[in-house]
Amino acid sequence: MTASLVLRDATPDDAGLIAGFVRDLADYEKLLHEAVATEADFADAIARGHIASLIAELDGVPVGFALWFHTFSTFLGKRGLYLEDLYVQPAHRGHGIGKAIFRDLARRAQEAGCVRMEWSVLDWNAPSIAFYRSIGAKPMDEWTVQRLDVAEIAKLAQQEA
């Protein structure tokens, strides 16, 4: 008997599951100390429509998730889909679940009129990079991510003109 994969939309009731997957992903990425989002944070963000998420279930058991939101390209004048996180439990990797999630997201992006899908990957994560290349993703080597954290945002916001 083959396992049955179901990808379903997450609801605010899935916030605890999402928070757990985020912690598992952060641990894998050696960033667990940065994963401070709570179940309430995810429930609120889903309820307000700030994010969307799906849960991957294998024979009814959650084994992974994806979380995304829409962006906008001023150059193209169209929406994009930004994949913030995708995680499949280690025991279930290599069986097509990640590819199924990406296919589902590509269909959603297409239906929403998105002209691009984007995400970030740590430069040391060779297995994920190889997977992304296998589905046709291209690195944006000429771009670097820039970030202001809470302290820097507050400092900049308080500066006089």
Place of tokens 């179940």: 39
Annotation marks residue 132 as catalytic? yes
Nearest of 27, 1, 4 to residue 100 by alpha carbon: 4
Beta-bridge partner residues of 6: 57
Amino acid code (one letter) for 145: V
pLDDT at 2: 64
pLDDT at 99 over 60: yes
In whole angstroms, give the CA distance from residue 46 to residue 7. Answer: 17
Are 72 and 80 in contact, with CB atoms under 8 Å apart?
A: yes
pLDDT digit string (tens) for 130-149? 999 999 999 999 999 999 99
For the chain, which domains are there?
A: 5-158 (3.40.630.30)
pLDDT digit string (tens) for 49-67? 999 999 999 999 999 999 9
CA 51 from centroid of its chain's CA atoms: 10
Q: Which of 28, 82, 87, 132 is catalytic?
A: 132
In whole angstroms, give the CA distance from residue 50 to residue 28. Answer: 25
DSSP secondary structure letter of residue 146: -
In whole angstroms, give the CA distance from residue 26 to residue 33. Answer: 8
